[in-house]
Structure 1
Amino acid sequence: MAQVLEDEDDLAPMRISGFDADVLRSAFQNLVRDADVPECQWRVVAECLVREFVGCEQIEAGLLDWITKK
């Protein structure tokens, strides 16, 4: 299960399901392909998608790495 770090006092990790992670990755891939986003901007795009989905600021780097890998 992927983790997204919550930006709260207790810093409890917020979890997203494998299904949700797959949906985010698929949305990212479609967006990058359809908008012809250059690879140097992929991580920023992935961060924006995850933040919009989970509603928190800090995101685990491993999740972003997995979303953006070729």
Structure 2
Amino acid sequence: MTKKQSKDQIPAFELDVMRTAFRRWVVEDNVPEDQWRPRARKLVRIMTGDDYVDPNKVEWIIRK
């Protein structure tokens, strides 16, 4: 039997894909750095379908 994944847990591979997508989005849209956090939260919400976004995941996605 497979264990159901918690909404708080995002597999490392998916998180890495989100980070790569985020970086491309920022570069292509020439997004100012002060808008990175809101955009990263939006991306995670879209990808997970969950309204709650772990701030640590956002920080990991936007770090340089």
TM-score normalised by structure 1 residue count: 0.80
More helix by share: 2
Q: 1:38 aligns with which of 27, 32, 43?
A: 32
Q: Is residue 21 of structure 1 aligned with residue 45 of structure 2?
A: no
Q: What SS is found at the alignment partner of 1:27?
A: helix
Q: Where in structure 1 do 4 or more consecutive aligned residues deviate above 6 Å?
A: none
Q: Secondary structure at the match of 1:16?
A: coil
1:3-54: CA deviation from partner (whole Å, max 9, x where unpaired): xxxxxxxxxx411100000000000000000100000000011011000000
More strand per residue: 1
Give the gaps of 5 or more residues in structure 1.
1-12
Distance 2:13 2:28 in 1: 22
**Identity, % of aligned positions:** 38
Gaps of 5+ in 2: 1-5
CA-atom RMSD, angstroms? 0.8
- TM-score by length of structure 2 reads 0.87
Match status 1:66 vs 2:60:
yes
Task: Measure the CA separation in 1 of the matches of 2:33 and 2:10.
Answer: 25
